[in-house]
Amino acid sequence: MKLSGVMLRLILTIFLVISGSFLSVKTWSDKSEEIKKTSKITVTPGMTVGELINTYSIPEKVILKFFGPEKTALMKQPVSDYISENKNLIENLEQSIALYEENQTKNWFKIPLKFMLWFIFMGSVFYMIKTKILNPRRRILLYVSGVIVFGIILGADPSPMGTIKDAIALYGEKHVVFKPRMIALAVFLFTVFAANKMICAWGCQFGMLQDLIFRINRNNDDKKGILKQYKIPFVVTNSIRILFFTIFTITALIWSYDIISDIDPFKIFKPKFLLVPGIIMLTILLIGSIFIYRPWCHLFCPFGLAGWLVEKISIYKIVVDYDKCTTCLACEKACPSTVMSAILRRDKIIPDCFSCGTCINACNFDAVSFTSAKRTKPEADFFT
């Protein structure tokens, strides 16, 4: 009954997410929100400006940028005249087309709306964790709400992962930097700096979906799994994540190939773009999320890796008051990953902390808080 109950909840959750996302994508648009493959511009001898424009279907805005409002009078002029004046004309033209196409894939109504709702949502959660009123029931309701609003309704893009993944892929493919994405990345990293991985924990649509599935397989007080759950050592998960990020970056910059695109789990929120590799990866991750806490975040996510580095200097974070701690280890046992063990003992590198607040709920002595106070180390023999 335990296995069948957990699996039934998992199947129902996935069905609702996929079916809801199908309807949502149709409501917003059918944009793929991905880098478009475009051919390199080649200028043949004697090619005119008009032939260049027609051959490569150059957008009007790009034409005006390069040839000015007098473009009509220049249609019969040879492109070579311009190349002689600007040796980087073709390269600059290709980059301008790439930035224009990237801009065209974005829904500029949905994106500001999503950021505004993110800050409202994360601000509310921050208050609940800080004041210790976030209990297991509210946590589940918040994850459900987050998946519905930021995933199903507002879609796969933007996402914290996309700001790094797509930036590297776009630069590798077309050697350009899309400034709005860099602004979004800076904002996301600031939320990590301000409040320990807040965007990953309470903003990332796929991160919250993994967390929700993990909690499906937990008892009522959210302290242990109904089916056995496993905590993979951080040295293993982070080594895999670093290796994956290295391979992704090398293949993107050297061969202009985005290895994440075909297996991107965020496509669960735009299921019409899912391919077979993506379906396989999603199946592994979603089933794995029952037994392992946030497998994509810990093992593969580029932003997860960057966020882990920034959270080393986060202002608000989980802190233990050793004057109140009784070494009962309830917080460590309830923590979904190995992070609380490291925070508690301060004897090794602290893994990703997703500010879920489980440790705060588990402590009966008010020794664990989400605060801006500095972490201290326990006495050498405190846990002996």
CATH for 361 = 3.30.70.20
pLDDT score at 112: 95
Domain identity same for 110 and 241: yes
**Is residue 68 domain-shared with residue 164, that is, in the same domain?**
no
Is residue 253 located within the same domain as residue 232? yes
Determine the pLDDT at residue 40: 79
In a domain, 11, yes or no: no
Give me the sign of the Cα torsion angle 297, 229, 268, 150: negative
Residue 154 and residue 302 in one domain: yes
Q: What are phi and psi of 92, to 5 degrees?
A: -65, -35
- Asked if 67 and 133 sit in the same domain, the reply is no
Are 274 and 160 part of one and the same domain? yes
Are 81 and 112 in contact by the 8 Å Cβ rule? The answer is no
Q: Do 186 and 294 fall into the same domain?
A: yes
Q: Is 39 part of a structural domain of the chain?
A: no
**Cβ contact 145:188 at 8 Å:** no
Burial of 70 (0-12, 13-18, 19+ CB in 10 A): exposed
Q: Do both 293 and 145 map to the same domain? A: yes
Pick the closest to residue 237 from 196, 172, 293 (CA basis): 293
- The reported pLDDT for the residue numbered 54 is 85
Q: Could you list the residue range(s) of the whole structural domain that residue 217 is in?
A: 106-309
Of 293, 294, 261, 264, nearest in space to 281 by CA: 264
| 0.85 surpassed by pTM | yes
Chain-centroid distance, C-alpha 311: 15
Per-residue three-class SS string for the chain: CHHHHHHHHHHHHHHHHHHHHHHHHHHHCCCCCCCCCCCCCCCCCCCEHHHHHHHCCCCHHHHHHHHCCCHHHHCCCEHHHHHHHCCCHHHHHHHHHHHHHHHHCCCCCHHHHHHHHHHHHHHHHHHHHHCCCCCHHHHHHHHHHHHHHHHHHCCCCCCHHHHHHHHHHHHHHHCCCCHHHHHHHHHHHHHHHHECCHHHHHCCHHHHHHHHHHHHCECCCCCCECCCCECCCHHHHHHHHHHHHHHHHHHHHHHCCCCCHHHCHHHHHCHHHCCHHHHHHHHHHHHHHHHECCHHHHHCCHHHHHHHHHHHHCCEEEEECCCCCCCCCHHHHHCCCCHHHHHHHCCCCCCCCCCCCHHHHHCCCCCEEEECCCCCCCCCCCCC
Task: Tell me whether residue 37 is in a domain.
Answer: no
User: Would residue 6 count as lying in a domain?
Assistant: no
Domain C-terminal end among 104, 122, 139: 104
**376 within some domain:** no
Q: What is the predicted pLDDT for the residue at 326?
A: 95
Distance, CA of 216 to CA of 162 (rounded, Å): 27
CA gap 175, 253 in Å, rounded: 9
pLDDT by residue, tens only, the chain of 384 residues: 588 889 999 999 999 999 999 999 888 765 555 656 666 788 888 888 888 888 888 888 888 877 777 667 778 888 877 776 666 778 888 888 889 989 988 889 999 999 999 999 999 999 999 999 999 999 999 999 999 999 999 999 999 999 999 999 999 998 999 999 999 999 999 999 999 999 999 999 999 999 999 999 999 999 999 999 999 999 999 999 999 999 999 999 999 999 999 999 999 999 999 999 999 999 999 999 999 999 999 999 999 999 999 999 999 999 999 999 999 999 999 999 999 999 999 989 999 999 999 999 999 999 999 999 999 999 988 987
43 domain-assigned? no
How many domains in the chain?
Answer: 3
Burial of residue 12, with CB atoms counted within 10 A of its CB: 0-12 exposed, 13-18 middle, 19 or more buried: exposed
Q: Are residues 344 and 213 in the same domain?
A: no
Cα 76-85-97 angle, rounded to 5 deg: 70
Q: 323 and 299, same structural domain?
A: no
Is residue 271, in this structure, part of any structural domain at all? yes
Domain boundary among 87, 104, 121: 104
Given 274, 309, 344, the domain boundary residue is: 309
304 and 325 housed in the same domain: no
Do 111 and 99 fall within a single domain? Answer: no
Question: What pairs with residue 195 in β-bridges?
Answer: 316
Q: Which residues of 38-54 are buried (b: 16+ CB within 10 A; e: fewer)?
A: eeebebeeeebbebbbe
- Report the C-alpha gap between 164 and 184 in whole angstroms: 10
Q: Does a structural domain hold residue 305?
A: yes
